[in-house]
């Protein structure tokens, strides 16, 4: 084993995945070194992290936070940059071995592409990047000889099941879904859902956007599209099964009918660590799974009528082109509006569906045209919301 430490650029270090990544790094100082940390607005936490992990560079994207971070780090060796463009340049720094993308939403796309262009391997948490531009991103990664290691637990599970199976074609995969806090509920039950109820996920503690996406099952829809591009699957090869205990993280079914599943207690630190150390596994002190605590692992069919967003994601994937980008943009706007008490829970999927129907379709979008699509879909969603 090489004793050279892996140098990590951690994009979105102040978020849920970012913080857990730093826990993994702190527990394994012999394996990892932090080169870059980035935050959007959370200057205080970024400063604290910078003082602890001593990176070469930090980026506070929001310019209003720059003076504070700069002042706090002026007596350290840490360089402080600001602005979106800074994310692009630091993604390409020579010293970096791997970029862990834990930004949320469309904001992850540009820096991820910049990192791939520079030949950096990617540990990908930011699923929206593959939803928006999966074809372009995976093609570019192939051209540049870059590996994309999944951080998302379901995709990490599939990736782990596929290790050692390069010669064996996949028949299909099953992505497991917890079903979120509203599993078993019907549309009429969801009409008066509050933000606090939607923010309470039964099994995972995550950032606000993905928590709402989990409650509406948009998260699983985004993950279906993410899986298509990560593993080069056809739409028909991807199935979703609701598994409320979140112990089986996903499964692969091979052509001989054999199924491999990856299991364990829900803890994002495990897929984060595996994405950073693949193909090796290193010891952890994470809590171990005990069968006797889970005598019943159960499975259900997803309810696509109540959780429309999952159906919308399948539809957008089937029609392809720029529609997954449209759906993602609409959903970012509607989730934000829901979090700001501007719309109701069921409006999220309803508005997403309207925007999908209204946006200009393009079958083979370029990267530039996806930026236009993203803006157009955001505009359409905002218009609908403003007229409610």
Tell me the Cα Rg of the chain.
Answer: 20
In this chain, which stretch among 9-17, 244-252, 352-360, 371-379 interacts with ligand NDP, using CB under 6 A? 9-17
Closest residue by beta carbon to ligand NDP: 15
Q: Is 15 in the site for ligand NDP (CB under 6 A)?
A: yes
Compute CA distances 292 → 289, 295, 296, 297, whole Å.
9, 6, 9, 11
When asked if residue 204 is in the footprint of ligand NDP (CB under 6 A), the reply is yes
Q: Which is nearer to Mg ion, 225 or 337 (CB)?
A: 225
Tell me whether residue 261 or residue 268 sits nearer to ligand NDP (CB atom): 268
Q: How far is the CB of 104 from ligand NDP (least distance, A)?
A: 4
Contact status: 273 vs ligand NDP (CB under 6 A):
no
Q: Which residue lies nearer to Mg ion by CB, 312 or 351?
A: 312
Query: Which of 152, 213, 303, 332 is the binder for Mg ion (CB under 5 A)?
Result: 152
Least Å distance, CB 65 to ligand NDP, is 8
Among 7, 16, 214, 230, binds ligand NDP (CB under 6 A): 16
Q: Which does 206 bind (CB under 5 to 8 A by kind): Mg ion, ligand NDP, none?
A: ligand NDP
Rounded least distance, CB 187 to ligand NDP, Å: 25
Q: Hey, which residues does 59 pair with through a beta bridge?
A: 38, 81
Contact 99, 11 (CB under 8 A): yes
The single residue among 21, 35, 126, 178 that binds ligand NDP, judged by CB under 6 A, is 126
Query: Which residue in 34, 104, 177, 355 binds ligand NDP (CB under 6 A)?
Result: 104
- How far apart, in whole angstroms, are the C-alpha atoms of residue 337 and residue 343? 6
CB 256 to ligand NDP: min, Å = 31
- Select the residue interacting with ligand NDP from 34, 72, 103, 132 (CB under 6 A): 103
User: With respect to Mg ion, which residue has the nearer C-beta, 31 or 212?
Assistant: 212
Phi-psi sector, 216: left (phi>0), alpha (psi -120 to 50), beta:
alpha
Distance CA 306, CA 322 (A): 25
- Among 72-80, 99-107, 167-175, 358-366, the segment contacting ligand NDP (CB under 6 A): 99-107
Q: Is 213 in the site for Mg ion (CB under 5 A)?
A: no
Which listed residue (40, 220, 308, 378) binds ligand NDP by CB under 6 A?
Answer: 40
Looking at 24, 31, 39, 116, which residue binds ligand NDP (CB under 6 A)?
39
Number of residues this chain uses to bind ligand NDP (CB under 6 A): 27
Distance CA 122, CA 131 (A): 16
* One of 248, 268, 329, 337 touching ligand NDP (CB under 6 A): 268
Residue 110 interacting partner from Mg ion, ligand NDP, none (CB closer than 5 to 8 Å by kind): none
- List contacts with ligand NDP (CB under 6 A): 12-18, 39-42, 61, 102-104, 107, 125-128, 152, 204, 206-207, 209-210, 268
């Amino acid at each position: 084993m090489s004793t050279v430490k892996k140098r990590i650029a951690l994009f979105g270090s102040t978020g849920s995945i970012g913080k857990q990544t730093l826990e993994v790094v702190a527990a394994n100082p012999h394996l990892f070194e932090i080169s870059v940390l980035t935050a959007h607005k959370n200057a205080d936490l970024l400063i604290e992290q910078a003082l602890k992990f001593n990176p070469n560079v930090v980026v506070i994207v929001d310019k209003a936070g720059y003076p504070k971070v700069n002042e706090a780090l002026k007596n350290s060796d840490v360089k402080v940059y600001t602005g979106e463009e800074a994310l692009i340049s630091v993604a390409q720094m020579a010293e970096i071995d791997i970029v862990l993308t834990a930004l949320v939403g469309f904001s992850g796309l540009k820096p991820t592409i910049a990192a791939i262009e520079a030949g950096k391997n990617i540990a990908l948490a930011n699923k929206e990047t593959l939803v928006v531009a999966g074809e372009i991103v995976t093609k570019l990664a192939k051209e540049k000889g870059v590996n994309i290691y999944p951080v998302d637990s379901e995709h990490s599970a599939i990736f782990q099941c596929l290790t050692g199976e390069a010669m064996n074609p996949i028949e299909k995969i099953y992505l497991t879904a917890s079903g979120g806090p509203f599993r078993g509920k019907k549309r009429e039950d969801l009409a008066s859902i509050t933000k606090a109820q939607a923010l309470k996920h039964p099994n995972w503690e995550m950032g606000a956007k993905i928590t709402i996406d989990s409650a509406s099952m948009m998260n699983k829809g985004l993950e279906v599209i993410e899986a298509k591009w990560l593993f080069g699957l056809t739409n028909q090869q991807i199935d979703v099964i609701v598994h409320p205990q979140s112990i089986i993280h996903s499964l692969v079914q091979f052509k001989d009918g054999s199924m491999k599943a990856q299991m364990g207690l829900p803890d994002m630190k495990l897929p984060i660590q595996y994405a950073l150390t693949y193909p090796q596994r290193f010891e952890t002190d994470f809590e171990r799974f005990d069968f006797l605590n889970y005598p019943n692992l159960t499975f259900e069919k997803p309810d696509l009528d109540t959780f429309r967003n999952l159906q919308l994601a399948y539809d957008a994937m089937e029609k392809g082109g720029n529609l997954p980008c449209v759906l993602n943009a609409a959903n970012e706007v509607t989730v934000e509006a829901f979090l700001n008490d501007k719309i109701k829970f069921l409006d999220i999927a309803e508005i997403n569906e309207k925007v999908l129907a209204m946006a200009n379709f393009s079958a083979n979008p370029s990267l530039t045209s996806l930026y236009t699509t993203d803006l157009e879909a955001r505009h359409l969603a905002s218009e609908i919301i403003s007229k409610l």
